[in-house]
Structure 1
Amino acid sequence: MGPSGSGKSTLLSCALGLIRPDRGSVEVAGRDVVPLRSGAVARHRARHVGMVFQFGELLPELSAVENVMLAAMLGGARRSRSLNAAEELLHELGISDSSVATGSLSGGERQRVAIARALVNRPSLVLADEPTGALDDANRDRVSRLLYSLPSRWGCGLLVVTHDQDVASGATHVARILDGKIAVEAPA
């Protein structure tokens, strides 16, 4: 958590290997990504990190299943495996008609499609950048519960960036960022 401009998104960019810190290390799935070359970082990210963006960042002209399949295929899965995995995930996340273009889905549905896309390659770590910022309260709560269930259900780590205290209250640990410095609070 932290105010705008405090470094929350920069932290995610470091975990993704998009930004290299001036000093220290950034360990993701047991590997320091800081010294890796760009190709190695991209391969590591594709295998180990799923990303959920604030506005989903889906391709609106593609269906829900096509958006999720695309991520699987970019991760190296064959078309048939990608289709099966995408349909299974979307069904589990409550997307009843996966053939509808994502541009016509509600905000909550789009975020669930974005979560499916982040999970399709079975990442070690799921990163979420203000994933509920554009949602109404009911969808915010539903998406938050879903995100916080991922570590136990999927065996992955989860890092959620938010400025919303209600969203942060579901976390097992909360770190606050202020002026680029991180302070971890004791679990409740």
Structure 2
Amino acid sequence: MTLDVRPATVFDDVRAVIGPKSPDATVCWCLSHRVPSKVDHTLKGQERGAYVAELCRAEVAPGVLAYDGDVPVGWAAVAPRAQTSYARSRVIPHVDDLPVWSLWCVRVRPGHRKKGVSHALIEGAVAYARERGAPAIEAYPLDNGEARVDTTMAYVGMRRNFERAGFTFAAGTKSKLVGLPRIVMRLDLR
């Protein structure tokens, strides 16, 4: 598999990876940390997809997509932290005042897992943040040690995957997912 990671500017490709099978279904669309919770709760069904379509047309793409040839096989949400709910989080601390970017969701389509897609997505998100002038990038993965995590809840990533990409532990958090602690990991891009 030869992977190419690009900014997520093609809505149909984003939909193929994170959209619902039924266009009327209300699923995450990776908006829960991108928009204020009041907005997130008002967007239903096709409105969620329409919102993401607008994000794909914005100057800063809403994330990156991994492609195997022309087939989109994975997604990573990455954006300036100031444009996410992490900017106001009471459970994920700010390490300092740097205008960091956040990487909070990594998703690989079924049939393409265990082939290095998540690693390519992390690298691609880092490259995109660096190209856009980010001084550092943060992720908020599970500190799961050797514990197995169901793929539906592994979207925040695993500590070891970010360590492989050069991220280091920056802070603990008050956040838990599936009973496991989440941590702040950071990579300096300066």
If the length of structure 1 is used for normalisation, what is the TM-score?
0.35
Higher helix content, 1 or 2: 1
Q: Which has the higher contact order (CA 8 A, sep 6+)?
A: 1
Q: Tell me which structure has the larger Cα radius of gyration.
A: 1
If the length of structure 2 is used for normalisation, what is the TM-score?
0.35
Higher strand content, 1 or 2: 2
